[in-house]
Structure 1
Amino acid sequence: MSDISAAQGSSTRAPGATHSPGTVDFGRRLLRIDRAGLAGLMSVRTVLVCCALALAIVVAGLVSMTIGSYGLSAWDTLRALVDAGFDPDARQVVYEWRFPRVLFAVLCGAALALSGGIFQSLTRNPLGSPDIIGFGVGAQFGVTLTMLLLNLNTYPFKAVGALVGGLATALLVYLLAMKRTVSSFRLIIVGIGVSAGLGSLTSWILISVSVEQAMMAATWGAGSIASLGFDQLVPAAIVFGAVVLFAVPLRRSLPVLEMGDDAATALGIHPGRTRLAAMVLGVALVALVTAAAGPISFIALAAPQISQRLVRANTPMSMLPVMLTGAALVVVSDAVGQLLAVPVGVITVSVGGVYLAWLLATQYARRA
């Protein structure tokens, strides 16, 4: 039996009051889904936002695949994707080179945005993203050590280096910020300090190696997905899928944890285990992207806040809108980067810096 209905909320009724069969009034328009093995409520606005973001990703990805020295129209690009008998040269350019790049942009954006949503919910602060509190820099430092000191430049080794570097940085930041309990303000301040220290160590390593090694690390450090293909995409997608599956329970537990440890414990949430799981999964998502594409900054900071405002959610941990927002930002940024002949990381840093300044200004204005 399938029952999907919409309910228009009214301010005159109490939230949660049932006013007709199959319809629930929560003060906003909702979709009620009731199928075998699947039941729940979903905001109509969330559905529309997700559809709009998915459309933006498809359009921006298609435009991105038309950019390059081998000029193709949008129609030829579509034919090269779906028609195996189309021009072999065009099909090789589109399907083997440009299409994996778009898919990687989607994966990187979704992973970074979800990681940012996890840490912003965990710290209860819009500045609590891995870009600001140093976990991204820790992953970058781990990859730098793996590439330059251990001479291991393949994706699996860089992924392990990024994960170890990110987790070690997270542990260091948490230990330094710990004072009976972990304050989000102390966590952010300590994270900024640790990030600056690791950045200085990375710079010292770069000036201590050969010019060729330094150029290789600097190119990777700019954050680019230009040279990535299906060989890197397949293992990255498998790891990303596994991490997302483990992160699904956090969609319910982290918003409860935002109410405080006492309230979370009373509702059956174990704060310590939840924080540990969230930290490991968030760092794993950052490490996944950093190992493949280098540091793509500010997506983890901006995407959860943009998504939260689009769907008008009470938490940055609305998983699907957050991931779609991050994917859209990276796909659009990569298309702009191709037009300007710069890596995607340069675009995200430029736009993200402006966003960070605006966010700091609004946060200060609220406290003033």
Structure 2
Amino acid sequence: MKLARAVDGKAVLRWPGGLQIRLGNLYAGFFLIVTAVALAALSLGMGSIKAGLGDLAAALGAAPLDPDKAYALWDVRLPRILTGFLAGWLVAMAASMLQSLTRNPLADPGLLGLSQGSMIMIMLLLIYAPTASKALIPLAALGGGLGVALALLILVGRERSNGLAILLMGIAIETVLSSIASLLILYTPSETSYALSSWLAGSLFQASWTGIAALAPWFLLSLPVAFLAGHALGPYELGEEMALALGEPIDRSRPIVLVLAVLLGAAAVTAVGPLMFLGVLAPQLVGFLSPALARARLFLAGLMGGVLVISADGLTRAVAGEIAMPLGLSLTLVGVPLFILSLRLRALKLFRTH
């Protein structure tokens, strides 16, 4: 490993096999990790019961802990923080993959209808088989997402330059599925309708260690996925014609990347419900923090997604108190101002450059 300069003059760390990473991306990753840890520590102390990082450290040191504090830390706050980070990571990484695939910064699992496919299947299961095993919910989510992905691939076909075609077809499918979801909520019994509406708004209120155990394998899977898929997505970001010229087998890699994005997105939807707009926010904020491509962009987007969800959950508990504020709403309150600020600063930078 040695320090070198890329073609654009940026400092990079380069390995003998040709792998390289920009120092700016390393610094950004370190900053996001530190931010996530700091926000998690701050979030541990939020709540009606006065308990925080010091109490957790004492408990880890085998010191006796008040039962109420132990319950608040181990059964409520830690599961929420970890579930939020994992779900944010998965959604942001899936969205970043889709944006590279379609070459569109607005693409995310929700816009392409993938999240809606998962949601519809979960809703149908909860409405028509309420006594079914909870183990079927992840399978229903995966089935719905994969069904939409298959429909996209069939409807778009094997045309070239079909990144835009996938996006437009996904928007059409998303519109239809959203209408179906609205009908299901409208014509189901009021108790079921209220529960579905709360879940559709996104929530960490049911976070548990069992849910974390279900999300952890998908998080671990996303690490090699980012490393391997990032290599394929690099050429896509140059355009499909250039990707073909570089030898990228688009007809094979596109369906694989799409399916991987579905798997990651469906896992997050199962755990916390849909996190709308997070998939657009996280990669764009990463682009402002440290422009990155391929693998680096996937990892940084995942970290940003986790940071945004932890921040939103902290805002929910700090501001709303005992009120059940939907996670999607708090994500909007946290992310949109940052998004507007980053776009404004980027525009000012471009203006000064020209």
**What range describes the TM-score normalised by the shorter chain of this pair?**
0.7 to 0.9
Q: What stretches of structure 2 of length at least 5 have no aligned partner?
A: none
Q: Cα 1:222–1:116, aligned 2, differ >3 Å: closer, same or farther?
A: same
Residue 71 of structure 2 is matched in structure 1 by 92
- CA RMSD after TM alignment: 2.9
Q: How does 1:10-29 map to 2 (within 5 A)?
A: 27-29=9-11
Residue 59 of structure 1 is matched in structure 2 by 38
Residue 3 of structure 2 is matched in structure 1 by 6
Once residues 118 and 293 of structure 2 are traced to their aligned partners in structure 1, the CA distance between those partners, rounded to angstroms, is 30
Q: 1:308 touches 1:314 (CA, 8 Å); kept in 2?
A: no
Most deviating of 348-357 and 311-320: 348-357
Most deviating of 310-319 and 353-362: 353-362
Q: CA deviation at 1:114?
A: 0.6
SS at match of 1:6: strand
Once residues 189 and 280 of structure 1 are traced to their aligned partners in structure 2, the CA distance between those partners, rounded to angstroms, is 18
Q: CA deviation at 1:328?
A: 0.7
Q: TM-score, normalised by structure 1?
A: 0.83
User: Of the candidates 106, 111, 117, which is equivalent to residue 85 of structure 2?
Assistant: 106
Q: Cα 1:209–1:61, aligned 2, differ >3 Å: closer, same or farther?
A: same
Residue 331 of structure 2 is matched in structure 1 by 348
- Structure number with greater Rg is 1
Residue 13 of structure 2 is matched in structure 1 by 31
State the identity as a percent. Answer: 25
Which structure features the higher share of strand residues?
1
SS at match of 1:249: helix
Q: Cα 1:67–1:207, aligned 2, differ >3 Å: closer, same or farther?
A: same
Q: CA deviation at 1:178?
A: 4.5
Most deviating of 265-274 and 42-51: 265-274
Residue 233 of structure 1 is matched in structure 2 by 212
* Cα displacement string for residues 178-213 of structure 1 (whole angstroms, at most 9, x for unaligned residues): 583353334333322321221111121122222221
Residue 161 of structure 1 is matched in structure 2 by 140
User: Of the candidates 270, 274, 279, which is equivalent to residue 291 of structure 1?
Assistant: 270
Question: Stretches of 4+ moved more than 6 A in 1?
Answer: 353-363
Once residues 340 and 133 of structure 2 are traced to their aligned partners in structure 1, the CA distance between those partners, rounded to angstroms, is 36
State whether structure 2 residue 97 is matched by structure 1 residue 118.
yes
State whether structure 2 residue 174 is matched by structure 1 residue 195.
yes
Once residues 95 and 111 of structure 1 are traced to their aligned partners in structure 2, the CA distance between those partners, rounded to angstroms, is 23
Q: Cα 1:27–1:155, aligned 2, differ >3 Å: closer, same or farther?
A: farther
Letter in 2 for 1:6: L
Q: How many residues align?
A: 342
Once residues 295 and 153 of structure 1 are traced to their aligned partners in structure 2, the CA distance between those partners, rounded to angstroms, is 22
Q: 1:137 touches 1:199 (CA, 8 Å); kept in 2?
A: yes
Q: CA deviation at 1:316?
A: 8.0
Q: 1:140 touches 1:162 (CA, 8 Å); kept in 2?
A: yes
Once residues 61 and 153 of structure 1 are traced to their aligned partners in structure 2, the CA distance between those partners, rounded to angstroms, is 35
SS at match of 1:233: helix
Q: What stretches of structure 1 of length at least 5 have no aligned partner?
A: 10-14, 17-25
Letter in 1 for 2:266: A
Which structure features the higher share of helix residues?
2
Letter in 1 for 2:282: A
Once residues 48 and 317 of structure 1 are traced to their aligned partners in structure 2, the CA distance between those partners, rounded to angstroms, is 12
Once residues 70 and 31 of structure 1 are traced to their aligned partners in structure 2, the CA distance between those partners, rounded to angstroms, is 46
Letter in 2 for 1:63: L
Q: Which structure has more RCO (C-alpha within 8 Å, separation ≥ 6)?
A: 2
